[in-house]
Structure 1
Amino acid sequence: MTTLLEFADVSFGYTAEPILEAVNATVSAGECIALIGPNGAGKTTLLRLAAGMLTPASGEVRFQGAPLRRRSRQHIARSIALVPQNLDVPFAFTVEQIVEQGRTPFIRALGGLQRTDREAIENALELTDTGYLRARIFNQLSGGERQRVKIALGLAQQPRLLLLDEPAQQLDIARQMEMMQLIRSLRSQGITLLASMHDLFLIDDTFSSVCSISPGEPLQQGPVDEMLCPESLERIFHCPPGSLPRKEICLA
């Protein structure tokens, strides 16, 4: 498979103390990868680095073989979309107006939405089953509806790589299942995804592989069944050996 995204010895910290250190990882075209790790390990930071929103202190983040730091924000936004945990919308924007923002990188100066933009917006609404919400006010939607609309916003960019930061966060069980079905649907469409995940039980049958980051440990990447076995999880989350139930957790 063609390598789409590459972390090459990437280190980063918001202060003198690094959050991520010597990270090496690859995301190939068509992969659907779950990113796991303890709170504060740097999952959101890794996604922001992947989106070109942060610059590594050392090392290189490459997209399609070229360093992200050499690309313009517009160029990156045409290739990579990051769907954040929270989307602050201070005004009474409708769902359609929110999703339209995904076309911003493609709009020429003083130009409006073109036919190709409208097609991308309609396709994003269709993929996320949010077309019926288009006239609703975003801030008045339920948590599950807002999550799907945020993904529609990202898909409207027609990205080569879709980054999801905790897409199932604060959703009830039914809405979590709907979110996993949406991710499986996007995966079947050939969309490349990297998503940080908090609930490990949602990963099996949805993601093709797992990537883990943990303080003091090198980044690990591997098949779902290997990465979610108790021995691996005890190492990733620094749990005492034997503290995780074998039957319920191990997916092998």
Structure 2
Amino acid sequence: MSDMSDAEMKETMTDARLQVRNATIGYDQRIISTDLTVDIPHESFTAIIGPNGCGKSTLLRAVARVLTPVKGEVLLDGKPIASHGAKQVARQLGLLPQTSLAPEGIRVADLVARGRAPYQSLFHQWSPEDEKAVQDALVATRTDNLSSRLVAELSGGQRQRVWVAMLLAQQTPIMLLDEPTTFLDIAHQYELMELLRTFHDEGKTVVTVLHDLNQACRYAQHLIVMRDGQIVTTGSPAEVMTPDLVEEVFGLKAMVVPDPVTGTPNIVPLDPRSAEGGLAPVTPVVDEL
């Protein structure tokens, strides 16, 4: 984890390349969020958290220019993101959607190579720089030994790392990921989160939608907390993650204690069966001889 204090983190995250201003966002003629205003701190590891259906993925898709706000706007470098060319945006930010489907019969190296699409044109065909970007992404995600395998043959954890490799090959300073740990077992979840932390440590802005609050607090510097389509609060995990917030946003009574490994906030649900609503008593186990 970073050794920077909260004050030092704030100082390094004052600039925001991505900003949402008074945005009303929805899809299929359904409004999900209204009048959203929020900044994505520059070079931060930001986690968007909240209950199911609260608008987390909708916000991320708007930031990625997949959705156009009905009102308001998303700004990239101070200008409406819609005013930038599609390839220009694709060279600045990349999105890993919640569900990604690989074309049938495609091999790992070919899928990762699709991350280079923003750099291809009639005047710029495949180059040694593209080849290096793909190879570097395969190595960074430890999928280089899978490069000739069919994507359909891979395990869930391997497949997710391949998709991250494609995103990495895009070589954008901003990486957006929508629930990247979904469908992964706990070991692969933490493996992926460590990989994202490595990218952040190398200077990338990482923005991810997460369900696991303890993972969000352990890995993110900055939280955006949502409920019912609105932003409840933003800030560092130490600032915003309190028992009152957990109960208000998630309807869960919990203690917030320091993680024994990292010292970051750790959410421990209280036992509703306990008379005091606290932690359940632990019954000693006695071996029978």
Same fold (TM over 0.5): yes
Distance 1:17 1:137 in 2: 38
In the alignment, structure 1 residue 186 sits paired with structure 2 residue 199 = yes
Q: Which residue is equivalent to 1:142?
A: 155
How many residue pairs were aligned? 249
Instruction: Tell me if the contact between 2:54 and 2:229 (Cα under 8 Å) persists in the aligned partners.
Output: no
- The CA distance in 2 between the partners of 1:158 and 1:191, in whole Å, is 10
| Contact 1:35 1:196 (C-alpha < 8 Å) held by counterparts | yes
Distance 1:94 1:116 in 2: 20
The aligned counterpart of 2:111 is 98
| Residue identity opposite 1:251 in structure 2 | P
User: Is the Cα contact below 8 Å between 1:62 and 1:68 reproduced in 2?
Assistant: yes
Give the counterpart of 1:244 among 249, 254, 260: 254
Once the two structures are TM-superposed, the CA of residue 210 in structure 1 deviates from its matched residue by: 0.7
Quickly say closer, same or farther: Cα 1:231–1:125, change in 2 above 3 A: same
1:109 aligns with 2:127: no
Distance 2:88 2:229 in 1: 34
Matched, 1:209 2:222: yes
For normalisation by structure 1, the TM-score amounts to 0.92
SS in 2 for 1:203: helix
Equivalent-residue separation in structure 2 for 1:3 and 1:119 (angstroms) = 30
* Deviation of 1:174 (Å): 0.9
Q: Per-residue deviation at 1:44?
A: 1.2
* Structure 2 CA distance for aligned equivalents of residues 115 and 26 of structure 1: 36
Are 1:52 and 2:95 counterparts?
A: no
2:3 is aligned to none
CA RMSD of aligned residues (A): 2.0
CA distance in 2: counterparts of 1:216 and 1:192, whole angstroms: 24
Task: Describe the superposition over 1:19-68 as per-residue Cα deviations: whole angstroms up to 9, x where unpaired.
Answer: 01111111122100011011111111111111111110111100111111
Identity of matched residues, %: 33
- How far apart, in 1, do the equivalents of 2:57 and 2:171 lie? 22
Matches of 1:245 and 1:190 in 2, distance apart? 33
Counterpart AA for 1:244: A
**Structure 1 consecutive aligned stretches of length 4 or more whose deviation exceeds 3 Å:** 216-219, 245-250
Counterpart Cα distance in 1 of 2:25 and 2:225: 16
Partners in 2 of 1:145 and 1:247 — Cα distance?
33
| Alignment equivalent of 1:174, drawn from 169, 187, 199 | 187
Task: Measure how far apart 1:17 and its partner are.
Answer: 4.5
8 Å CA contact 1:23, 1:219 repeated in 2: no
What is the letter of the counterpart of residue 93 of structure 2? Answer: I
The normalised TM-score by structure 2 is 0.81
The one-letter code matched in structure 2 to 1:223 is S
Query: Following the alignment from structure 2 to structure 1, what is the Cα–Cα distance between the partners of residues 66 and 15?
Result: 23
In structure 2, stretches of 5+ residues that fail to align are: 1-13, 267-289
Distance of aligned partners of 1:216 and 1:99 in 2 relative to their CA distance in 1, 3 Å threshold: closer
**Higher Rg of the two aligned structures:** 2
